[in-house]
Amino acid sequence: MNKHICTLAVLSSLSFSALAVDCDPNLLPSWKDGTSKTEIIQFVSQSTDKSQNTFIAEKDRIAVFDNDGTLWSEKPYYFQLAFAFDQVKSMASTHPEWKTQEPFKSVLNNDIPGVFKGGEKALLDIFTATHSGITVDEYQNRVATWLEAAKDPRFSKAYTDLTYKPMREMLNYLQDNGFKTYIVSGGGVDFMRVWAPDVYNIPQEQIIGSALKYQYDYNDGNPTVTKLNEILSIDDKEVKVENIQHVIGKKPVLAVGNSDGDHAMMQWATSQPNSMAMIVHHTDKDREWQYDRKSSVGHLDKAMDEANKRKNWHLIDMKNEWCTVY
């Protein structure tokens, strides 16, 4: 996958570079020469150069990335929610009560604003109804089947084609330089593990996310693990740091996010020398979306203020620093 992506990246950037001379086909080809690209290259260089006192041993090169809005798009609403809405529809025949019961009624009527009126509780109700009471295997089969057919309404693309090419290149560049790349996302860990390993070259065991409690059953010699209707972890804000501590057990040297939900893990990572934080700033309403302080999804406010003050925190300006988005 890694090599394949690189080849594609080089090929597509070769044709693109005829138009945009500031995109180097050989190194991070989807990034324009500019501040963010320079910071990435400099950080990798200083971390891997044994002769410098900024050198980081390979075992400590832990980099954590948010997913929604950082590695793929998250508008008009989280893609996992689109999966959940579709699941409600396909499960509706066995839940006749949903015809009159919110938030399910709004989902079945394609009344998305109506769903959001119910706030966080409505979304949690939809998530647990569609994500629990089945084995992890069965759940992941459903996710895989859905991903094969579902299309994003704005771009008419498969959701996995809406991952950011520059960020995939950045992940691969870090991996090639001995960094262990992790996803630390508010998205469901079982959801991401279906497709993220292929798309980002990040194995299942380097994906941290929100989760329902699991239940093991011996099941007469055919053991199963079932997703229960009870929250184990909502991987957002300070919980991201707590889960990094629990699962990884060491402080990352690089944290990349796009919203205030990633603020704590960026503060945590950069509370040590030779560390860096980056924020994907959604500035491109034509090629992707434009939002920050006033958005409910991907709300970016306090973390942006801190980025503007701190030397090793960098905003990635999607519109002006990316040659290609997808």
Q: β-strand 224-233 against 134-135: which pairing, if any?
A: antiparallel
Using CB under 8 A as the binding rule, the residues of this chain from 220 to 239 that contact a copy of itself are 221-223, 225, 232, 238-239
What's the closest the beta carbon of residue 35 comes to a copy of itself, in angstroms? 24
- Please confirm whether the linkage preceding 103 is cis (ω < 30° from 0): yes
- Binding map of a copy of itself across residues 49-88, x = CB under 8 A, - = no contact: ----------x--x--------------------------
Residues 6 or more apart whose CB falls under 8 angstroms from that of 237 comprise 260, 261, 263, 264
285 binds a copy of itself (CB under 8 A): no
What's the closest the beta carbon of residue 212 comes to a copy of itself, in angstroms? 10
Of 141, 135, 128, 138, nearest to 217 by C-alpha is 135
Coil vs helix vs strand at 35: helix
116 binds a copy of itself (CB under 8 A): no
Which of the stretches 19-27, 103-111, 248-256, 280-288 binds a copy of itself when contact is defined by CB under 8 A? Answer: 248-256
Structure tokens at 1: 């996958």
Amino acid at 185: S
311 binds a copy of itself (CB under 8 A): no
* Other Cβ atoms closer than 10 A to 111: 14
- DSSP string over 161-180: GGB-HHHHHHHHHHHHTT-E
Coil vs helix vs strand at 191: helix
CA 176 – CA 155 distance, rounded (Å): 31
What's the closest the beta carbon of residue 66 comes to a copy of itself, in angstroms? 16
What's the closest the beta carbon of residue 114 comes to a copy of itself, in angstroms? 34
213 binds a copy of itself (CB under 8 A): yes
Which of the stretches 9-17, 63-71, 167-175, 198-206 binds a copy of itself when contact is defined by CB under 8 A? Answer: 198-206
What's the closest the beta carbon of residue 144 comes to a copy of itself, in angstroms? 14
Alpha-carbon dihedral sign for residues 249, 180, 185, 144: negative
Which of 95, 250, 285, 293 forms a contact with a copy of itself (CB under 8 A)? 250
Which of the stretches 26-34, 120-128, 202-210, 292-300 binds a copy of itself when contact is defined by CB under 8 A? Answer: 202-210
302 binds a copy of itself (CB under 8 A): no
- Please, which residue, 101 or 219, has the CB nearer to a copy of itself? 219
- Please, which residue, 216 or 294, has the CB nearer to a copy of itself? 216
Residue 300 and residue 281 in contact, taking contact as beta carbons nearer than 8 Å: yes
Is 282 exposed, middle or buried, given 0-12, 13-18 or 19+ CB atoms closer than 10 A?
Answer: buried
CA 144 – CA 253 distance, rounded (Å): 33
98 binds a copy of itself (CB under 8 A): no
CA angle 181, 201, 10 (to 5 degrees): 110
Which of 5, 6, 91, 136 forms a contact with a copy of itself (CB under 8 A)? 136
Q: Give how many residues touch a copy of itself by CB under 8 A.
A: 37
What's the closest the beta carbon of residue 6 comes to a copy of itself, in angstroms? 19
Is 317 exposed, middle or buried, given 0-12, 13-18 or 19+ CB atoms closer than 10 A?
Answer: middle
DSSP state of 142: H
**Interacting residues with a copy of itself (CB under 8 A):** 59, 62, 136, 180, 189-190, 193, 197, 203-205, 207, 211, 213-216, 218, 221-223, 225, 232, 238-239, 241-242, 245-250, 264, 267-268, 271
